[in-house]
Amino acid sequence: MPEPLLVVRDVEKHFGGVHAIQGCSFEVGAKTITGLVGPNGCGKTTMFNLITGTFRPDSGAVIYAGRDVTGLRPHVMAQLGVARTYQLTRVFKSMSVLQNLLTVPFDQSSGERKQWAVEVLAAVGLAEEADATAGDLSFGDQKLLEFARVFMLHPKLVLLDEIFAGISPALQERQMRVIRDFRARLGVTFLVVDHTMRVIMNLCQEVLVMNHGQILAQGAPAEISRNDRVIEAYLGNRSAMKGVDHHRD
């Protein structure tokens, strides 16, 4: 496994009586596309919130690029190169698509910023919509916009929370192409949460399986899909695991 860009070590998080994250540890290799899967409510989004500083862990550590970043504020994490999307899309609704992107980054002239924004929009296929109001876009296009906005930060690590959910296979393919392309060209690392197993198995080199706030298994997609404990965790959700082997590339 390559040098880790992100290390999560023994992280705990309670919400009142709910023990959402229970001593969770894992690593994400630099320049990999790593999947994070697990049943509903197992703590995936909470883990994203702990990594990005939205929540502070009760205990444990988050190490990013060799530095302890536990409990740093979200805007600091973003400036360090950690970008994320939200499970429930959060675009700036009354602003134009282009304006959504031009809010960042910080270290560029407005000319460079605009050029990069146009490039990113072209990559995700929203170039035609640049002047449209974000709130007027379709559900799928809003997801694409939020996905595109992430790259404005020139991120090193991108956390994607169910960006493939509820959009057409054609758009999913486009998003996968963009992810692979940014990884290959710019060395961006991705941690991808999704329930669409076909996408996860296709896209990721490494998959982390989470259950009850812990990492249950970790490995290449083919290993994971054969792992008994994983299949058990998904028992009620067997259909999700079905067809996994047929869709490998």
Partner 1 sequence: MKASSPFRFWPGAVAVAILVAVPFVASGYITALTLSLLMYVALAYGWNLISGYTGYVSFGQVAFFGVGGYTCAILAKAGMNWLVGSLIGGVIAGLLAVVLGLVMLRLKGAYFAIGMLGLAQLFAAVAGALKRVTNGSTGIFLPPSLSLVPVYLALLSLALTAVVGTAILHRSTFGLRLMAIREDEEAAESLGIHTTVYKIIAFSISAVVIALAGGVMTWYISFIDPQSAFPAALNLTMVIMAVFGGPGTVWGPLVGASTLGIIAELLWANYPGLYLVIYGVILLLIVLYIPQGVVPSLSKLLRRRGAAETVRKGRRGAVA
Ligand X SMILES: Nc1ncnc2c1ncn2[C@@H]1O[C@H](COP(=O)(O)OP(=O)(O)OP(=O)(O)O)[C@@H](O)[C@H]1O
Residue 37 sits in the site that holds ligand X (CB under 6 A): no
Task: Write out the two tokens for 158.
Answer: 């991108």
Phi-psi region for residue 10, left (φ > 0), alpha (ψ -120 to 50) or beta? left
Q: Is 243 left (phi over 0), alpha (psi -120 to 50) or beta?
A: left
**What does the per-residue mask of binding to Mg ion show for 42-81, with x meaning CB under 5 A?**
--xx------------------------------------
Q: At what angle do helices 110-124 and 139-150 cross, to 10 degrees?
A: 130
Contacts of 66 (CB under 8 A, 6+ apart): none
The reply on whether position 40 binds ligand X by CB under 6 A is: yes
Name the β-bridge partners of 64: 6, 67
Q: Does 87 bind Mg ion (CB under 5 A)?
A: yes
Amino acid code (one letter) for 157: L
Instruction: Report in angstroms how near the CB of residue 44 gets to Mg ion at its nearest.
Output: 5
Identify whether the C-beta of residue 70 lies closer than 8 Å to the C-beta of residue 62: yes
Q: Which stretch binds ligand X (CB under 6 A): 15-23, 61-69, 229-237, 241-249?
A: 15-23
Size of the site for partner 1 (CB under 8 A): 28
Instruction: Assess 211 for contact with Mg ion (CB under 5 A).
Output: no
Task: Give CA angle at 188 (168, 198), nearest 5°.
Answer: 30
> Can you state the percent helix, strand and coil of the chain, rounding each to 5?
40, 25, 35
Site string for partner 1, 32-61 (x = CB under 8 A): --------------------x-x-------
Selected range binding partner 1 among 56-64, 104-112, 168-176, 177-185, rule: CB under 8 A: 104-112
* Single residue of 9, 12, 19, 79 touching partner 1 by CB under 8 A: 79
Partner from Mg ion, partner 1, ligand X, none binding residue 43, C-beta < 5-8 Å depending on class: ligand X
Interaction pattern, residues 79-108, with ligand X; x per rule: CB under 6 A: --------x---------------------
Cα dist. 187→43, 83, 182, 190 in Å? 27, 14, 7, 10
15 binds ligand X (CB under 6 A): yes
Q: Minimum Å distance from CB 46 to Mg ion?
A: 8
DSSP symbol at 229: H
Which parts of this chain interact with ligand X (CB under 6 A)? Answer: 15, 18, 20, 38, 40-46, 87
List of residues contacting partner 1 (CB under 8 A): 52, 54, 73-75, 78-79, 83-84, 86, 90-95, 99-100, 102-106, 110, 113, 149, 152-153
